[in-house]
Every structure is written in structure tokens, then in C-alpha cells.
Amino acid sequence: MSSFNVYICGVGGQGVGLLAAALAQAADRAGLKVISCDTHGLAQRGGVVSSHVRMGEDALTPLVPEGGADLVLALERLEALRGAAQYLKKGGKVFYYDTAYQPVSVRRAEAAYPSVEDVEKAVKELGGTAAPVRAAVRDPRMQNAALLGRLAAEGAVPGLAAGVMEEILREIAPAASLEENLAIFRAAAKP
Amino acid sequence: MLSLSELTVKKEGFSALVMGNHALARAMAEAGTMVITSYPGSPTPEIAEALQAPPEAARAYRFEFAVNEKVALEIAAGAAVNGHPAAVFFKSVGLNVAADSLIQLPLMELAGGLVVILGDDPGANSSQNEQDNRWFARMGYFPVFEPASPAEVYVMYKEAAARARELRAPVLLRLTTHVCHAREKVNFGPLPTAAPDWTPRFDAKAGPYVPITSAVFPLKKRALEKLDRWAAYVEKTPLNAVHNAAAGGRRLGAISAGLPALCLLEAVRTAGAQVDVLKLGLSYPLPAGLITEFLRSHDEVYVLEELDRVMETEVKALAYDRGLACRLHARRDHHELMGETSPERARAALNEVWPEQFPAPVKRAAVLPAARLPQMCPGCGHRSAFHAIKAALPPGAITVGDIGCHSLGFLPPYNMGEILLSMGHSVSTAAGLALGNAARKVVAFVGDSTFFHAGLPGVVNAAARDSDITLVLLDNGTTAMTGHQPRPGNGELGERLSLPEVLKSLGVKFLRECDAYEQGKLAGFMKEAMEHKGFAVVIARHPCMLKFMRDRRHAGAAVKTQHVEVDQGKCARHYTCAADFACPSFIRHPDGSVTVNPELCIGDGSCIQTCPAKAIGRGK
């Protein structure tokens, strides 16, 4: 029984669903059996948003089990920590775009916001590794392309080559910002 | 990759990785469904997104959003009695709104057939409860299809539509959140080649269609006979099937339907358990013959379902009636009647009865970081309105919320709208709170889409009674929460309606209106309204800024966003901006300073007036 499970999370409005759709379409294009799912609703308004992508013959249902993610992708630092704490499998990897959106509790000085080191340490304790991704982007909605680019360069999803991911990015990105997105995707390969 | 605008109009068959809601839209087109209606509500809005993607001229169907679920259902029913295949979709609790007409449909001869699609929400991901709408099928004599995945949504809709037409009857297609939003590869067929036949075929003689006194009984008899025909159908449909895994020795089995059945199958396979699974695609009427045979051929059977004990009760009754010796198991405590089923939950449930087959669940002890509650977007007019109104309220005031983005006002730091029942309830619940109450002011909130959806009767009542309450109508000009569907009168759907004119014509005497960003003016209006003896309405309007910014971007307007900035020399660290007004754009640093996150600030400037130290200004 095997499947490769990816848990993707971030804050409502960041494009978590789009990132998941791109990854799922790329996996399908690469000939992998894939089932995925978005979870939203109320959360789309600045709350936690997550998507699940499962690859392999044995995944019949769309949600990644808690503690069952081979890969956690996050578009925000605090959410990287939450995603890893809930979903990361021992030996799994976390890639996250390193931007910080403070929740109300932090702005009200009722809770602390984690540093890059906090995330690294917590993920290490879970038996995994965490890598922040940063890029020079004009529009925060392009942070997706940077994360996808790093994923492609690292070969983080078995059976999913960088070329297929770039092909899907070309089909998904809006025409007006396609060249910019591709440049970010390619530049992200170098940490 | 297939574009969404091709999905329902591409003539040939194709395969694509699609979400359940999109697979459903294609199935409607392939089935030749002619009239489709809806009121937006999670988890179903993407069905409409796909149906509306191609230009109207290219569609073989008519799609309409209606003012509420009841109106949507009635339009679809009207089309169906006219001989046109029809479908209607809405969220779980939308059924409550539609129920008055929905309950009548099995009594009617629906020549075109009607599929009623329910977006049920186990886990209450985006609803005010997790009501189990399978009960309604029992009350109204509806058959229920329960697809478990996008591919099954596609197959079952087509089957449901065909059988509905054949039996001239309504059918329930019950989806759940993670069936609607799951994505998988689906193999689609071609569209019908014949053009839709719009000949109006309503025939009063095919009825009767007026269920009054003695006419009810022949109609009810006919509905029950149709249910018998469904009962025969569920025994032979391949949608109900046994997946064998049991070996020799003690014969174990499990019965389930919909997504929980897939969870069960995954749990069985992961554990390598020797348990046969009877998976039901058509869960009502229950296939009594198939289940009897399954119970006879097994020593023990677990009935695994999600939410209420619906199937469990019926399977137990069946076993009793037939005198079957099979030992029946089911979920044990209240906790198991709540939330969604997952393969892990299925495994944990089965571990309790068959520990040798299923491993015990492993508890994960992870420390979670700060919670992130949903909040209103940067620039949202509701935030500005709540900030102003909160300051104007006298101590002890009771605030009644309603459904929409502004429901989030009940969360800290606003704590506004502290009771919520259903769509449009706020005016009347407030009127009740005000009865015999001279001590505490009562303020109700309602959004503009909800006002038209179900708020109107409450407003008419409050105006006629002159209820001593203040209603704040938060008008953002759209149905924002579910993705900006048009509402009547906002200019996108029908003639533009003036809310003040509508209210005046309903008999509202005290009426004030301002932009929600005008916080001083709004606070003044609120004080005046609360002092007014009787029904008072204050309209706080501001366009949904999420929609405004998106429309501006799509129009290709080259507008540079002028973010606000905090003058560090003037900032006196009151934290009104970050903690009380609480726009997500503000960052409170560990050293105590406050800055603005340019990734989030949209440059609306509604925060500038909130700073006691006047430290917020527009950037250069």
C-alpha cells in the first residue's frame, strides 16, 4: 500500500487552490494516478486554507491523513509550522514561501509569531526538514511560481519532472504575466 | 489543458482531471438537462462557475441564479412539469428554505424529470450545522443517489436524470463537501446531437397538480408506488455492489455509502483486512434483498455511516424483520456522530470491534502554533462599519448577526452579532429580543444579498409592527461570501434597485444611509437610530473590495496602489490599527513598533481615521 501525499496550505487569498491544481494537473500529465481536494469555505476570508494532493494507485480518498504527508507546501511561514505539526510524516519535507501574515492574536499581542529558526527546529523535532523559499516578486500572487520552481528543481515529487511542471505553469498562468511567472519559476531552482 | 469555458459545450468526449462540481456540470450537459437553477452556497458554487463559463449562445441549457433556494427550486419544478429536464442545486441548509415546495414534488408528475442536488456539509466546513439531509428523503419519498468521487458524480447524475425522466419524478443527488471539491480524472462522453425541444408540454390532465383535500390521497398513493419502483431498481443497479476481501473462517462485512464507503475500502486495503464491503451508490430506498443476502452470508456486519444513524436503524429493522442471526455493529458514541469520516476514523471504528483486523489509531501529539481565525479582507466596509458601530453602542446592547461575510464580526476584536440562526433571521430574532425590553438596545445586521433572500418578510413584519430595533443593512452590492454571485437589483441582474426606496415602500420611517468608511457619520446615525422609538434602519454601504480590486485588475487598469504608512515618529503605540480596527495589513513587531505589510494593504485608507495619534497616512 503506497501513495505519495502532499499537503498544501496558506492563508485565504494566496492561491493555495491554484498551486494544488497545478501540482495535480502536472502529476496527471506525468501519467501518475492522482486524487486531490481543496478545503475552504469560511476560511477563504483570511483564515487557513488547505489543499490535499495524493498520488499513486492506493489513494482512494482525497484527504491526506494527519501525520501522513510526504511533503508539506506552505505559502506562509506560520502556516508552514501548522501544516507540518498536523500533517508531516517522519522523514518528510517542508517547503514554504517565506512571507509572514500575522493572525489577529499576534496583532493583539496574545500569541507569538514564529521565526525561520522556530520553523526549522520544530520540523526537525518532527523528523523532517524545512526549506524557506524567497524570491523577488512584483505581485504576491507570483509566490506560487517560486514555490513550484523550487519543488521542480529539487525533484521533490517522485515521478514529476521539472519540464512537466513548467508545461502546466505555461497553461495555467495568465497570459499577461506568463513570462514573469516563468522567470520566477526558473530562478527559484537556485536556493 | 481543457479550459472551463469548453467543459459543458465541447461536442466530443474527452478525459480531464476535474473537481466533482465541474464533473457534474458536464454530466448535466451530456444528459440534456435544459433548465438549471441555484442559489449560491458552499460547497456547490463551482457547479455554476462551470455552467456559466461558456457564452450563453453556446449553451444548450439555461442557467439561472435565483433570489433564494425556494425560488430556484420552483423555477426548476415549473420547467420539469413543462416537460423539460431540470436540475436545481444548493447547499445543505438551503434545503430548509426550499422545503415547503420540495416536499410537494413527489406528488407531482414531473414530465421532464428533476434532479435536486444537495451540497451536504459533514464537518460543517462552511455551514451553520451538519444536518443529515438523508432524513428528508424518508419524509418526502425521494430516492437518494450518493456519489463518492467526481467520476461517480458524473455517472450518477446521468443515471439519476434518466431515471427521473422515465418515472416523471424528482430525485435527490446528495453530494458532500469533499466529493464536490475532490479532483480526479474523469472520462466524459459526447453531448447529445439533437437540439433541446422547448415545446411547452404542461398538461393539467396529467395531474392532478392541485393537492387539495381528497386529491392528496391518490397523489400520495402514486408517490408511494413510484417509491416501490425505485425499490425494485436499487436491487439490480450496478451502483450498489459488493467488494470482496473476506477469506475463510469468521465472515466479516461492512455496509456503507458515498465517500464514507471509499474511506472504508481504503481502511480495509491499508490494513489488509479480510472484510467484504457492500458499497451503496443508491442509499434510499435501501436495497432490502441485497442487504438481506449480505447479512445472511456474513457472521458479523458493521454499518459505517457519516452523521446520523439513518442506515443503521433501517438495517437493524430489516435484520429483525427477517429474523437474521448476523451480529450487527455500528458506531458507539456521540463523538462518532459528528464530523467527517476519513480512512483513519473508519479504521479506528473497526478497530474497536475487530482489533485483529485493524490496527489501533496512533495519537499524534503535535503542538500547534497560534490559531488563525478567518477575518474580513483589507479594505472591507464591514470592518469599518463594525469599528464605528461598536463605539456607538450603549453598554448591554444586544447585537444580532446574520449570514454572510459580516458573520465574522462575532469574532474578536469586534464581537458584534452574537446570535445567529439562519439566512435572514436577524430582523425577527431582534424583534423578539426587543419585546418587553426597555433596558437593552437591540441591533440587527443583515447583508444585501441575504436581505433579498429571506430578510424581506422579517423587515415587512418589523415595519408593520414598528418593532423597537435598529437594523444595519450592510450593503456591499454582491453575494460576497460565496464568490460574488449577482443579487437582484445590484445592476448585474435586472434593473438596479434602490435599497432606500425599497425600504421606504415597505413602510420604514426612520432611514439613514452613508458609506461604511464614514465612521463618524455612521456612529452618529447609530446613536440617533437607537434613540428612535420604533423600527430604524441604517444602511452602511461600501462595495466588496475583494471584488472591486479583482474587477480593476481584470479590466487591466494600470492603477498604482498607494499603501498607507505608519509614521514612526508619531506612533504612540495605541495599537488601535493592529488590534482593535484589526486590519490584517498591520504588522506588530516584537520590538513594539507597527508597520504596514505592502503585500496585503490595498491602499483603501479606511484605517487612517482610526489612529488616535494621527500616525497613519498615505505613502508617497
Boundaries of every domain in chain A = 4-187
Nearest-5° Cα angle at B549, B405 to B449: 35
Q: Is B327 on the interface with A (CB under 8 A)?
A: no
Phi, psi of B527 (to 5 degrees): -60, -45
A190 confidence band (pLDDT: 50, 70, 90): low
Q: Do B413 and A108 touch (CB under 8 A)?
A: yes
Q: Which chain A residue lies closest to B378 (C-alpha atoms)?
A: A46
Residue type at position A45:
R
Q: Do B17 and A34 touch (CB under 8 A)?
A: yes
Q: What is the pLDDT of residue A25?
A: 96
B560 confidence band (pLDDT: 50, 70, 90): confident
- Angstroms from A86 CA to nearest CA on chain B: 7
Q: Is pLDDT above 50 for B201?
A: yes
- C-alpha B245/C-alpha B264 separation (Å) is 12
CATH 3.40.50.2300 fits B4-236, yes or no: no
Q: What is the pLDDT of residues B52-66, one digit of tens each?
A: 999 999 999 999 999
Task: List the single residue in B1, B178, B546 with the smallest CB-CB distance to A63.
Answer: B178
Q: Are B254 and B302 in contact (CB under 8 A)?
A: yes
> By CB neighbour count within 10 A (0-12 exposed, 13-18 middle, 19+ buried), where does B433 fall?
buried
Query: What does the buried/exposed string (b/e) look like for B353-385 if buried means 16 or more CB atoms within 10 Å of the residue's CB?
Result: bbeebbeeeeeeebeebbebbbbbbbbbbbbbb
Chain B residue numbers touching A113 (CB-CB < 8 A): 370
Chain A residues 57-96 with a CB less than 8 Å from chain B = 58-63, 65-67, 78-79, 81-82, 85-86
Q: Is B369 on the interface with A (CB under 8 A)?
A: yes
Q: Which chain B residue lies closest to A12 (C-alpha atoms)?
A: B374
| For range A138-147, the mean pLDDT | 91
Cβ pairs A/B, distance under 8 A: 173
Q: What is the pLDDT of residues B584-596, one digit of tens each?
A: 999 999 999 999 9
Q: Is B177 on the interface with A (CB under 8 A)?
A: yes
Q: What is the average pLDDT value for chain A, to the nearest integer?
A: 93
Chain A residues 25-44 with a CB less than 8 Å from chain B = 25, 28, 33-44
Grid cell digits, residue B240 = 450498489
Q: In what helix (H) or strand (E) does residue A9 lie, and over which residues does it extend?
A: strand A4-11
Strand, coil or helix: B367: coil
Strand, coil or helix: B354: coil
A171 confidence band (pLDDT: 50, 70, 90): very high
- Angstroms from A153 CA to nearest CA on chain B: 23
- C-alpha B577/C-alpha B415 separation (Å) is 16
Q: Is pLDDT above 90 for B482?
A: no
**Site from B46, B93, B183 to mutate, A interface, most A CB atoms within 10 angstroms:** B183
| For range A106-111, the mean pLDDT | 96
Strand, coil or helix: B509: coil
- C-alpha A98/C-alpha A79 separation (Å) is 10
Q: Are B63 and B48 in contact (CB under 8 A)?
A: yes
| For range B218-224, the mean pLDDT | 95
- C-alpha B289/C-alpha B204 separation (Å) is 38
Chain B residue numbers touching A164 (CB-CB < 8 A): none
- C-alpha B44/C-alpha B478 separation (Å) is 17
What DSSP line would sit under A12-24, residue for residue? TTS-HHHHHHHHH
Check if B381-550 and B560-618 are the same fold. no
Q: Is pLDDT above 90 for A1?
A: no
Q: Are B427 and B444 in contact (CB under 8 A)?
A: yes
| For range B208-236, the mean pLDDT | 95
Identify the CATH assignment for A4-187 out of 3.60.150.10, 3.40.920.10, 3.40.50.150, 1.20.272.10: 3.40.920.10
| For range B191-220, the mean pLDDT | 94
Taking each helix axis from N to C end, the angle separating A77-87 and A116-125, rounded to the nearest 10 degrees, works out to 10
Q: State how beta strands B170-176 and B144-145 pair.
A: parallel
For the domain B560-618, what is the CATH code? Answer: 3.30.70.20
Q: Which chain B residue lies closest to A37 (C-alpha atoms)?
A: B182
Chain A residue numbers touching B362 (CB-CB < 8 A): 67
Chain A residue numbers touching B582 (CB-CB < 8 A): 104, 107-108
Q: What is the pLDDT of residues A14-73, one digit of tens each?
A: 999 999 999 999 999 999 999 999 987 554 678 999 999 999 998 999 999 999 999 999
Q: Which chain A residue lies closest to B482 (C-alpha atoms)?
A: A41
**Site from B46, B269, B372 to mutate, A interface, most A CB atoms within 10 angstroms:** B372
The distance in angstroms from the start CA to the end CA of chain B is 43
Q: Are B10 and B191 in contact (CB under 8 A)?
A: yes
Chain A residues 126-165 with a CB less than 8 Å from chain B = 126, 140
- C-alpha A124/C-alpha A145 separation (Å) is 26
**Fold held by B241-353:** Rossmann fold (3.40.50)
- C-alpha B156/C-alpha B158 separation (Å) is 5
Rg over alpha carbons for chain A, rounded to the nearest Å, is: 16
Half-sphere exposure of A37 (CA within 13 A, CB side): 24
Q: Do B367 and A79 touch (CB under 8 A)?
A: no
Q: What is the pLDDT of residues B337-372, one digit of tens each?
A: 999 999 999 999 999 999 999 999 888 878 899 999
**Residues ≥6 apart with Cβ < 8 Å to A61:** A35, A54, B259, B262, B263, B266, B342, B343
Q: Is A191 on the interface with B (CB under 8 A)?
A: no
Q: What is the pLDDT of residue B554?
A: 84
Q: What is the pLDDT of residue B485?
A: 87
Chain A residue numbers touching B126 (CB-CB < 8 A): 40-42
- Angstroms from B607 CA to nearest CA on chain A: 15
- C-alpha A164/C-alpha A167 separation (Å) is 5
| B556: region left, alpha or beta (phi > 0 left; psi from -120 to 50 alpha) | left
Chain A residue numbers touching B375 (CB-CB < 8 A): 45-47, 104
- C-alpha B25/C-alpha B2 separation (Å) is 14
Q: What is the pLDDT of residue A43?
A: 47
Q: Are B600 and B378 in contact (CB under 8 A)?
A: yes
Q: What is the pLDDT of residue B483?
A: 85
Length of chain B: 620
- C-alpha B391/C-alpha A16 separation (Å) is 36
Q: Is the ipTM of this complex over 0.85?
A: yes
% of chain B beyond a pLDDT of 90: 90
| For range A74-85, the mean pLDDT | 98
**Residues ≥6 apart with Cβ < 8 Å to B380:** B405, B542, B544, B545, B546
Supply the DSSP symbol for B393.
Answer: P
Picking from B540, B538, B451, the residue whose alpha carbon sits closest to that of residue B487 is: B451
Grid cell digits, residue B547 = 471584488
- Angstroms from A178 CA to nearest CA on chain B: 15
**Residues ≥6 apart with Cβ < 8 Å to B149:** A35, B20, B179, B182, B184, B259, B262
Task: List the single residue in A12, A37, A107 with the smallest CB-CB distance to B183.
Answer: A37
Q: Are B206 and B236 in contact (CB under 8 A)?
A: no
Chain B residue numbers touching A38 (CB-CB < 8 A): 19, 181
Half-sphere exposure of B18 (CA within 13 A, CB side): 30
pTM: 0.96
Q: What is the average pLDDT value for chain B, to the nearest integer?
A: 95
Q: What is the pLDDT of residues B565-578, one digit of tens each?
A: 999 999 999 999 99
CATH 3.40.50.970 fits B381-550, yes or no: yes
Q: Is B405 on the interface with A (CB under 8 A)?
A: yes
Picking from B340, B339, B315, the residue whose alpha carbon sits closest to that of residue B328 is: B315
Q: Is B559 on the interface with A (CB under 8 A)?
A: no
The structural domains of chain B, with segments of one domain joined by +, span 4-236, 241-353, 381-550, 560-618
- C-alpha A112/C-alpha A164 separation (Å) is 40
Q: What is the pLDDT of residue A44?
A: 61
Q: Which chain A residue lies closest to B597 (C-alpha atoms)?
A: A101
> Of B204-218, B461-475, B483-497, B600-614, which range is least confident?
B483-497
Q: What is the pLDDT of residue B134?
A: 98
- Angstroms from B596 CA to nearest CA on chain A: 11
Q: Are B184 and A35 in contact (CB under 8 A)?
A: yes
Q: State how beta strands A48-55 and A4-11 pair.
A: antiparallel
- C-alpha B65/C-alpha B487 separation (Å) is 8
Q: What is the pLDDT of residue B487?
A: 83
| For range B255-270, the mean pLDDT | 97
Q: Is B183 on the interface with A (CB under 8 A)?
A: yes
> Of B246-260, B285-299, B388-402, B505-519, which range is least confident?
B246-260
**Site from A48, A52, A104 to mutate, B interface, most B CB atoms within 10 angstroms:** A104
Q: What is the pLDDT of residue B246?
A: 72
Task: List the single residue in B343, B408, B413 with the smallest CB-CB distance to A45.
Answer: B408
Supply the DSSP symbol for B453.
Answer: I
- Angstroms from A155 CA to nearest CA on chain B: 22
Q: Are A82 and B368 in contact (CB under 8 A)?
A: yes
| For range A65-92, the mean pLDDT | 97
Q: Do A42 and B370 touch (CB under 8 A)?
A: no
